[in-house]
Amino acid sequence: MSARATRINGRPRAGFSFLLIFAVVGIAVVAALAPVFLPADGPLVAKYRDAAAAIIFASSYIALAVGRIPGFRIDRAGIALVGAGLMVAADVVTLDDAYQTVDLNTVTLLLGMMIVVAVLRLSGFFAVASNWLAAWARRPVQLLAAIIVLSGFLSAFLVNDAICLVLTPLVLDLCLSLKRPPAPYLLAVAMASNVGSVATITGNPQNILIGSFSHISYAHFTLALAPVALIGLCITGAFIVLFYRREFIGAPHLSVPPASATVHHAIMGRALLATLMMIGLFFAGVVPAKAAIIIGGLLLLTRRIKSRRVYAEIDWSLLLMFAGLFVIVGGAEHALVTPDVVAWVGQWRLDQIPALTAVTAGLSNLVSNVPAVLMLKPFIEPLPNHTTAWLVVAMASTLAGNFTVLGSVANLIVVQRAASAGVAISFWDYFKVGAPVTCATLIVGALWLWL
């Protein structure tokens, strides 16, 4: 099909998107102008405002779930920012209230962790770690186990999205040099990253949110969910071997060629020491956001790596998306979460671990895990066993990310990085392994927290 035909075929969808956006913006404008023409405290103004909140919330989350708006070059961060702006424009929340909805602990912790991971990558640590594990592996199944351990362990402490970003090209290059099919090993990177990240508060963005909302200590969180992560990593490896039996059963010995890596030994030593100190501070009870931003800031004090190289490694769009999501959900919570709504949701028996696991996992696959956690927040806080409920949400929202390739940002990072190198991982390639892994790990996680 020609480029011109593609453009023509895309026009109806773009036009439909334009009409929907025009309608949503129009509703926000009507809600903003309603107090000018009607009594400001009247019921009609409140109804306009609530309707605007519901429409902005729903349209924003649909666009976030899809990841784009047809006909527009806007990403998830931009969608979140537009939704937040419309919440303020419609007077669902004031500008001051919007500022208050942004959880700065979450944003600060994410920023600090991104700086630490960036310095570790620039120092050459990840290349050295992957080379060391590759040298240890003598058979494909040992290489698979090494990748699962490395991805799972690092993701537990250093945010899984960042780990997938740095490990994917390293594992891809290693597989190509060994003449092994990259798909099962790249699936191991993504799935082990998701499973391993369930172990701690700093494992992934949704856990960071939950740590801030719940005030569960880092040590308590880890003691509760680290066993789920360990068992889950074993399950992940078992299913990958099962579905790729020809690659792992009876395979020949591997001859791993030495891979070149640029290493700044002094910076790597400092970064590793700083990382260990940061993790120690987490377990010592220091507020994670405080520990991460202090350590991250100190790591910028170097004469060998320019600060702008570190800044280039930071996912600023993710931080922007978080800020926008906080405002969108805060506006919806303020306008829509009434006592009647809370009572209706209470009929779903969210105080029961199996029910909460199922609802969280399902919602996470509909709208992604971070938005799901934000949507569940007003319904988790009133539950009698507050701490256990948040642990269940952390477990289920994270493990549900392995269900499809769209289940988590980590999965998309791996698949997109692989595609850019000419390695295709289809929806089915991921789903045939990810779906059983998700079901098995969710059952293990629910039973662990239930018994």
CB of 394 within 8 A of CB of 356?
no
pLDDT digits (tens, 9 = 90+) for 406-432: 788 888 889 888 888 888 888 899 999
Q: What is the mean pLDDT of residues 354-370?
A: 89
CA–CA separation, 354 vs 357, rounded Å?
A: 5
pLDDT digits (tens, 9 = 90+) for 76-103: 889 999 999 999 998 899 999 999 999 8
pLDDT digits (tens, 9 = 90+) for 178-212: 888 999 999 999 999 999 999 999 999 999 999 99
CB neighbours of residue 25 within 10 Å: 16
Q: Tell me the pLDDT band of 13, cut-offs 50, 70 and 90.
A: low
CB of 187 within 8 A of CB of 425?
yes
pTM of the model as a whole: 0.84
CA–CA separation, 63 vs 78, rounded Å?
A: 10
CB of 415 within 8 A of CB of 405?
yes
Arithmetic mean of pLDDT over the chain: 87
CB of 31 within 8 A of CB of 90?
yes
Residue 66's identity, in one-letter code, is: V
Joined together, the tokens standing for residue 255 give: 């001859």
**For residues 81 and 255, which has the higher predicted lDDT (pLDDT)?**
81
CA–CA separation, 277 vs 244, rounded Å?
A: 40
**For residues 34 and 422, which has the higher predicted lDDT (pLDDT)?**
422
CB of 110 within 8 A of CB of 159?
yes
User: Residue ranges per domain, the chain?
Assistant: 3-92, 104-450
User: Where is average pLDDT lowest: 234-248, 316-330, 431-445?
Assistant: 316-330
**For residues 41 and 134, which has the higher predicted lDDT (pLDDT)?**
134
